[in-house]
Amino acid sequence: MATNKLALDIPDTLNDCVLKVWDSSIYSSGVPTECPKLEITAPGFQLPSIVSDIQPGFNLNLTACQIGMQIHNCGVQFNPLPDGVYIIRLSYSPNDQLYVEYNHLRITCALNKINKIMCCLDLSNCQPIQPVEAQLRELQQLWMQLKGAKSNVEYCHHPKKGLAMYDYVVGQLDKLACACGCQDKC
């Protein structure tokens, strides 16, 4: 019996105003795709925002307006989306039976902090001097912990643990930014 294999890709992005969601499902010919619904529950929200005007194979760049986090100046001003755990669900009729759901840890702010710290470090020498080398090792450790936070949320199904790890990493990135003379907070 032919069936659809639903899947989404939610890549990390450096654009703080966009949540990118791709439909990477495999659709069987002859199997209906009726009543499509993409539901996104943003951090701090209890109810999802629903995107219903989607087609199989969609590739969306969702803004704060499209997911219900911004209601004024839509299309004129683009508010940044916060980092945190987003619950993203794609379904087709019958929507309570044919669906796929993900916990996604958005890490855009943290990634931008890492890039800004890299810009602030003196990396002009092929072999960095000791203080810079130590800061690079710390940055690499924090990067791995950030990946661990994502894994806890997205693969291990431990969103609270992953979010606690994320918060720790961002705090450490703030300290490292201050030590490097690169103070920028999200």
Q: Where are the domains of the chain?
A: 8-106, 108-180
The yes or no reply on domain 8-106 and CATH 2.60.40 is: yes
28: region left, alpha or beta (phi > 0 left; psi from -120 to 50 alpha)? beta
Give the pLDDT of residue 131. 77
Q: What is the mean pLDDT of the chain?
A: 92
Digit-by-digit pLDDT tens for the chain (186 residues) are 678 899 999 999 999 999 999 999 999 988 889 999 999 999 999 999 999 789 999 999 999 999 999 999 998 999 999 999 999 999 999 999 999 999 999 999 999 999 999 888 866 666 666 777 888 899 999 999 999 999 999 999 999 999 999 999 999 999 999 887 776 654
150-156 long-range contacts, Cβ below 8 Å, gap at least 24? 150/105, 150/107, 153/85, 153/103, 153/104, 153/105, 154/102, 154/103, 154/104, 154/105
Q: Cα(121)–Cα(140) distance, rounded to whole angstroms? A: 13
